[in-house]
Amino acid sequence: MPTLSMPVLQRDEDYFKDSTMTFGEHLDELRVCLLKAMAGLLIGVALGMFVGTYVVKLISAPLEEALGGYYQSQAVTSYQEWAAEQTALGRAVPYTTEQMRHLVDERGLIYEMRTVDLAQAAVAMRAADPKLGKGLPDAHAEKAVVGPESFLALFLWHPIARDARISPKVLNFQEGFMIWFKASFVVGIVLSSPWVFYQIWSFVAAGLYPHEKKYIHVFLPFSLGLFLAGAALAYLFVFQPVLTFLLGINGTLGFDTEPRITEWLGFVIFLPLGFGVSFQLPLVMLFLERIGIFTAEAYVARWRIAILVIVILSAVLTPADPYSIFLMAVPLVLLYFGGVLLCRWLPRNAPSERFDT
């Protein structure tokens, strides 16, 4: 009786020879990629030193804008409270609320209120010119008015951009240099990111079969684009609401905010980097699917756990205020389901197609 036999698939020995690496070869490849990435980062930092001063001004802008808005809001609120007190005492006020809002919000001015003793002012004015103090109370008169009626509130106006409170502070001489160097380092990361990501994916490609290496040409631009998109989202849309929220909390608690530029720069560095790295989520999901740790179906089945992990990750990588957590978690949730679609759009051709370990 004839026997049936399954055809034996012939494997291309050269095909596997080109794709197989020993553990030691993997370590050597990793060392070379890391050295090249570090060299690119150093070159990026060196280039960043030429624009470090401009970058410090650029990253200070959101902080100064948030502080300016906070103090303008406080100025209007304080004036309303003061005007209500004066009105209750039957005294005239120099501005209406609408006039005050126009000066502060539309013309970009802010005031410092000073109280002047009219009697003492008259003495000083008469000393300069007897005609100047005419009609003002005499501080040496026997029946001179002493009390609130003898005082006058003066409002000294200046542009909000010149307000000393909105300028970040440094507390020692070398802090300015360190700020400039850190700003240059941030520029170096951004400038060298294409090269660094290329080296990372080159190392990943060393463990791929030749037919899988074509994915690197897709992964690299997507990886770089996602990183820059995350960093841009943090700078353009996250800083302002987060700062406004935190300044509002401090104002509610009665705390005066005088941020140090070093602390702010640390916030500026880590928040965009956290966003940029976390936005690699779809590619990480596809990587794990390629090496057989997860499947697209497993991602779908565990979406509730994934959202919980995303929220926890967002709380760790941000200042943990509601705004920053929300602004990081929502894009990551969308990217998670985008990663699921990516896994289904680029399925593995066969179970044996995986990274060589």
pLDDT digits (tens, 9 = 90+) for 102-136: 999 889 999 988 887 777 766 776 666 666 656 55
pLDDT digits (tens, 9 = 90+) for 285-297: 887 887 678 888 8
Q: In which residue are the tokens 């909000």 written?
A: 160
Classify residue 350: in a domain, yes or no.
no
* Number of separate domains in the chain: 2
Q: Does the pLDDT at position 40 exceed 60? A: yes
SS3 sequence of the chain? CCCCCCCCCCCCHHHHHHHCCCHHHHHHHHHHHHHHHHHHHHHHHHHHCCCHHHHHHHHHHHHHHHHHHHHHHHHHHHHHHHHHHHHHCCCCCCCCHHHHHHHHHHCCEEEEEEEEEHHHHHHHHHHHCCCCCCCCCCCCCCCCCCCHHHEEEEEEEEEHHHCHHHCCECCCCCHHHHHHHHHHHHHHHHHHHHHHHHHHHHHHHHCCCHHHCHHHHHHHHHHHHHHHHHHHHHHHHHHHHHHHHHHHHHHHHCCCCCCEHHHHHHHHHHHHHHHHHHCCHHHHHHHHHHCCCCCHHHHHHCHHHHHHHHHHHHHHHCCCCHHHHHHHHHHHHHHHHHHHHHHHHCCCCCCCCCCCC
174 and 150 within one domain: no
Closest CA to 228 of 261, 257, 190, 262: 190
Q: Does 35 or 208 have the greater pLDDT score?
A: 35
- Measure the CA–CA gap between 40 and 32, rounded to whole angstroms: 12
Q: Does the pLDDT at position 54 exceed 70? A: yes
Q: Does 132 or 235 have the greater pLDDT score?
A: 235
Answer left, alpha or beta for residue 292, where phi above 0 means left and psi between -120 and 50 means alpha: left
Q: Residues 156-172: what's their mean pLDDT?
A: 82
Q: Answer with the one of 134, 166, 198 that is the final residue of a domain.
A: 166
Q: In which residue are the tokens 């005050």 written?
A: 100
Q: Does the pLDDT at position 85 exceed 80? A: yes
177 and 31 within one domain: yes
Classify residue 114: in a domain, yes or no.
yes
41 and 155 within one domain: no
Q: Residues 38-53: what's their mean pLDDT?
A: 89
334 and 207 within one domain: yes
Residue type, 241: P
Structural domain of 125: 68-166
322 and 180 within one domain: yes
- Measure the CA–CA gap between 223 and 286, rounded to whole angstroms: 12
Q: Are 328 and 317 in contact (CB under 8 A)?
A: yes
73 and 98 within one domain: yes
255 and 140 within one domain: no
Q: Does the pLDDT at position 6 exceed 70? A: no
Res. 255 pLDDT band, cuts 50 70 90 = confident
176 and 159 within one domain: no
207 and 300 within one domain: yes
172 and 160 within one domain: no
- State the pTM of this model: 0.61
Which pLDDT score, from 0 to 100, does residue 101 have? 92
Q: Does the pLDDT at position 302 exceed 80? A: yes
100 and 172 within one domain: no
Classify residue 354: in a domain, yes or no.
no
Res. 143 pLDDT band, cuts 50 70 90 = very low
